[in-house]
Amino acid sequence: MNTTRTARWSAALVATGALITLTACSGGASTGGSDGAADELTVLIASSSDAEATAVTAANDAWADENDTKVKTVIASDLTQQLGQGFSGGNPPDLFYMSWDQFQTYASNRYLEPYAQDAENADAFYPSLRDAFSFDGQFYCEPKDFSTLGLVINTDLWAAAGLTDADVPTDWASLEAAAAKLTTEGVAGLSFGPEYARMGTFMNQAGGSLVSEDGKTATADSPENVAGLNEVKKLLAAGVLQFPASIDAGWAGEAFGKGTAAMVIEGPWINGALKADYPDVKYRIAELPAGPESKSTFTFSNCWGIPAGSETADAAKSLVSHLTSDEQQLAFADAFGVIPSTKSGAEQYATKYPENAAFVAGNDYAVSPVAFAGAATVITDFNSALEGIATGDPETILAAFQENLQDALDAANAK
């Protein structure tokens, strides 16, 4: 490993507060020849389930067999921590999941190889996903799949409330009406987590955003964002929205599975959770209702990251090409429910899984949650404030967030 590059990685990680002073990363960079070949690649991933771990490991092994090499697939217990350890120790994995909320930090500090812009399939991905993993005009790393948020509806409870297809919410008013009819003793009409990654959709639907288009000014305290949070507060005050903890659940999917929430705002990962833990629950998925300004949902993704200047980059890029092919992404969809990141793959997915078509349709207008370098800490504080929104004042919450977000944005733009 290049010692100059190692020193730069460590210094930058200290500067951004990402240095973890614990044991070394369980992965580790592999040796490669001067021609870029690799005897073994180490791939660090996070796993939503045993099914994901098994499927990705099998795909890596299949590529390894075809390319006369070895792949060591490491399942991270804490991806952010272990990746930080690897970089700070000068020993990052050869290939790794790079999350949407960490990407800007890693790219701005030049930890990542911007290989995706030159890939043969660079134009195959959804524009929103390309944008999520671009920095300074360069498309850095290929998105491995994506998820959007949809409205998941318990069809048995829906029918019992006398609701029909015509009542599926398409705007805030119809969401309020349906949630009210579905709310009974012991059942919340609607549930989702008390966090920006859910409430932010209401802010966007009202026409709000957190950062100006030029990326220089925080716009968190705009009237539109206040309107979005006031809609959430209205639902809470009416008693038709309950956060998961209030109905004895760790997350909205658990409340939905237990039948204590009739509708939830979640992504396609809920499919696997319900199949595994609550297989008898019947449900359908709709797009999120539009707000007063527009439709909006969030898109979430990881990309396949390669360390800058890696000696095994050529082999890693070959593996990425295999992992992001439509055929392999559809196999992953079969195994653990993710949606292919390529437009052609997602179209095939929607045809094969029509019940999930709303998740695919949402990506046509989806945006990524704000994720510039340094934003993660500020969002964490914002989430803490949002937990008390039932009794809190949206204007006050957003005013404090505005100040903190602008400070973080100024720091990011000063680099």
If asked whether residues 293 and 305 sit together in one domain, one would say no
If asked whether residues 172 and 295 sit together in one domain, one would say yes
Question: What was the pLDDT predicted at 413?
Answer: 87
Instruction: Give the 3-state secondary structure of residue 350.
Output: helix
Question: What was the pLDDT predicted at 37?
Answer: 57
If asked whether residues 322 and 198 sit together in one domain, one would say no
**Torsion of the alpha carbons at 330, 269, 341 and 303, rounded to the nearest 10:** -120
Helical (H) or strand (E) element with 343: helix 343-352
Question: What was the pLDDT predicted at 372?
Answer: 86
If asked whether residues 139 and 79 sit together in one domain, one would say yes
If asked whether residues 142 and 155 sit together in one domain, one would say no
E strand intervals along 120-199: 134-135, 138-139, 147-148, 150-154
Two tokens at 32?
Answer: 């490669």
If asked whether residues 306 and 332 sit together in one domain, one would say yes
Closest CA to 126 of 390, 344, 411: 344
- Say which CATH number the domain at 127 has: 3.40.190.10
If asked whether residues 238 and 170 sit together in one domain, one would say yes
Closest CA to 302 of 138, 133, 167, 60: 133
Residue with tokens 């009819």: 181
Q: What average pLDDT values come out for the chain (415 residues) when binned by 10 residues?
A: 46 42 36 58 91 94 96 96 95 96 91 96 93 94 96 98 98 98 97 97 98 94 98 98 97 97 94 89 98 96 96 97 97 90 95 94 91 88 97 98 96 85
Pairwise CA distance, residues 102 & 105, whole Å: 6
Two tokens at 48?
Answer: 């939503």
If asked whether residues 211 and 347 sit together in one domain, one would say no
If asked whether residues 68 and 140 sit together in one domain, one would say yes
Q: Could you tell me the residue range of the domain that residue 55 belongs to?
A: 3-147+300-362
Tell me whether strands 40-45 and 134-135 are parallel, antiparallel or unpaired: unpaired
Question: What was the pLDDT predicted at 59?
Answer: 98
If asked whether residues 254 and 326 sit together in one domain, one would say no
Question: What was the pLDDT predicted at 34?
Answer: 39
Question: What was the pLDDT predicted at 17?
Answer: 44
DSSP secondary structure of 247-316: GT-SSHHHHHHHTSBSEEEE-THHHHHHHHH-TT--EEEEPPPB-SS----BEE-EEEE-BTT-TTHHHH
If asked whether residues 158 and 265 sit together in one domain, one would say yes
Question: What was the pLDDT predicted at 266?
Answer: 96
Pairwise CA distance, residues 402 & 229, whole Å: 14
Domains of the chain: total: 2
| pLDDT digits 0-9 by tens, 100-119 | 889 988 999 999 999 999 99
If asked whether residues 192 and 284 sit together in one domain, one would say yes
